[in-house]
Each structure stands twice: as structure tokens, then as C-alpha cells.
């Protein structure tokens, strides 16, 4: 005699149902808020046609291509400078966040908690907000844009690198410690080699983000690709926007390919 099969129905958590309900209500309220309002302005369709038509006739004149090249190099320079600041903040911060150099458990927990809270505060403020604050303090200076990217990125680098340093296999570290290695020796001969490929790949990813952030921050007058796009849009020179966007795409793809090469080389 066969026994009837039991079908187990997994109950949906109440929190998930409440979240789904809140999302539906928020969507409904947003639709009601814009009901009856035009989705685009009266000249939106014409502007869209002009932008799309300019894709077929981009400005490829030699003087403008020289401007595109200069803006691209300036954007890359901003990204490199910002990543330099991020590494200057993030590498010491990663050691503090991970606590790998502190042997006493109580001291490690106290220092890690304080440093993580500090970096979480810095990381919570978007780089655009940092840029606006620093522009008030330093004026329209490229240093403001570099620091605005470098500070929150450095806080993020500290958190991620700290996690990578603590999430390495424990057996090699235990062998080094039992052999009498100091925390610094364990760091250089154990943790860094084990996490090296992941660290390099993440830093290149963060540099790719810095390139895009530098292009965005250049909209506020710091120069670079974003600044040139802003000028082209203000002058309704849509045919100049596409070469600038293409240059930004090439720059990001180049960084991505370099990152992939470094990761693959590190795993060989």
C-alpha cells in the first residue's frame, strides 16, 4: 500500500510580504503623482530626433578629436590621482579594519569597531556631495574633484581589502604563526600572496569606477570628458557628444581588459 506523498509548502516570511506590499503601494503613489502630467516636454520628440540624427554625422574634425583626446587624458589623470588618494587611505585603513596586526583580542575588537564606523560614515556620503562640499572650501580646483573621489573610494577600498585579508585560508597562516612569524611577516608571506589576485582585480574594478566618477564630476566644471559633454549639450552640438561618449567607453573597456589580464596572470 503506497503512502500519499507529502507536499511541503514553504511559508513566505511576513517581512518579505510587507516589503512587497510597500513597493506596490510606493509604485502606485508614484503613478498617481504624475498622472495627467506629460512624460516629456513639448519639444522632447524633436530633440530626441536631433540627438539620434547626430549619431549618423558625428564631429570627427581633427581639432575636435584633439579636444576629445585631451579630455580623455585629463579624465584618466583625475581617475589615477583619485585612486592614489584612495590607496593612501584604503591600504592603512584595510590593516586597521581587518585588525590582522593586533594580537590582543580586546584591543583588536575596539580598534576595528571604531575604524569601521569612521569609514562607514565617509563611505555613506556620495562623491558628488563631497565634491560640492570641497568646492565650497577649495573653490573650483581639480584637487577638490580628486579628493571627492578618493575619500569615499578609500573608505570602500579599506573595507573590501580588509575583508579579503581576513577571509584567507587559516591553515597557511597557522603554519607561519607556529613557526614564529610576526604579524607583519604573516601579512607579507601569508595573507597578501593568498589574496593578491582578488585584491588586484578589485583595485582595477575600483579604478574603472573612478574613471566614470571623474567623467561625472567634470560636469561641475573640473574639466574632462563630462565638461566637454556639458559644453556640447549647452551649445546643442549633439554631433560632438557621441565621440566623447565613445572615448569614455574606450577608456572604460581598456581598464576592464587590463583588469582581466592582471587577474588571469595572478591565477597562473
What are 142-175's pLDDT values in tens digits? Answer: 888 899 999 999 999 998 888 888 877 777 777 8
Domain ranges within the chain, ordered by starting residue: 59-267
How far, in whole angstroms, is CA 109 from its chain's centroid?
A: 28
Q: What is the CA radius of gyration of the chain?
A: 25
pLDDT (mean) for 8-33: 64
Residue 107 has pLDDT above 70, yes or no: no
Q: Kindly report, residue by residue over 166-225, the tens digit of the pLDDT.
A: 877 777 777 877 777 777 777 777 777 777 777 888 888 888 888 888 888 877 667 788
Assigned C-alpha cell, 107 = 584591543
Helix (H, G, I), strand (E, B) or coil at 30: helix
Q: How far apart are CA 174 and CA 164, in angstroms?
A: 17
pLDDT, tens digit, for every residue of 70-85?
999 999 999 999 999 9
Q: What is the predicted pLDDT for the residue at 7?
A: 46
Q: Which superfamily is assigned to 59-267 in CATH?
A: MetI-like (1.10.3720.10)
Strand segments, DSSP code E, in 45-97 are: none
Please count the CA atoms within 13 angstroms of the CA of 120 that sit on its side-chain side.
7
Do 127 and 148 form a contact (C-beta atoms < 8 A)? yes
Claim: this prediction has a pTM higher than 0.75: no
pLDDT tier at 234, thresholds 50, 70, 90: confident
Give the C-alpha separation, 82 to 87, whole Å: 9
Amino acid at each position: 500500500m503506497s503512502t500519499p506523498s507529502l507536499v511541503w509548502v514553504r511559508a513566505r516570511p511576513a517581512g518579505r510580504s510587507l516589503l512587497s506590499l510597500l513597493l506596490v503601494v510606493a509604485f502606485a503613489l508614484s503613478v498617481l503623482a504624475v498622472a495627467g502630467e506629460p512624460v516629456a516636454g513639448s519639444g522632447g520628440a524633436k530633440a530626441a530626433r536631433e540627438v539620434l540624427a547626430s549619431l549618423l554625422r558625428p564631429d570627427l574634425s581633427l581639432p575636435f578629436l584633439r579636444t576629445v583626446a585631451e579630455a580623455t587624458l585629463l579624465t584618466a589623470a583625475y581617475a589615477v590621482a583619485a585612486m592614489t588618494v584612495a590607496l593612501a587611505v584604503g591600504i592603512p585603513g584595510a590593516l586597521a579594519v581587518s585588525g590582522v596586526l593586533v594580537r590582543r583580542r580586546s584591543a583588536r575588537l575596539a580598534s576595528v569597531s571604531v575604524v569601521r564606523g569612521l569609514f562607514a560614515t565617509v563611505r555613506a556620503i556620495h562623491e558628488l556631495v563631497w565634491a560640492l562640499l570641497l568646492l565650497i572650501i577649495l573653490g573650483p580646483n581639480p584637487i577638490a574633484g580628486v579628493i571627492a573621489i578618493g575619500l569615499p573610494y578609500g573608505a570602500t577600498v579599506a573595507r573590501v581589502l580588509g575583508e579579503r585579508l581576513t577571509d584567507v585560508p587559516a591553515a597557511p597562516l597557522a603554519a607561519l604563526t607556529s613557526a614564529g612569524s610576526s604579524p607583519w611577516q604573516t601579512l607579507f608571506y601569508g595573507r597578501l600572496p593568498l589574496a593578491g589576485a582578488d585584491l588586484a582585480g578589485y583595485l582595477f574594478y575600483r579604478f574603472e569606477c573612478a574613471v566614470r566618477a571623474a567623467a561625472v564630476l567634470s560636469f561641475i566644471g573640473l574639466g574632462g570628458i563630462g565638461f566637454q559633454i556639458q559644453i556640447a549639450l549647452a551649445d546643442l552640438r549633439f554631433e560632438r557628444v557621441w565621440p566623447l561618449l565613445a572615448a569614455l567607453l574606450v577608456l572604460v573597456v581598456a581598464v576592464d581588459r587590463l583588469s582581466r589580464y592582471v587577474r588571469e596572470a595572478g591565477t597562473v
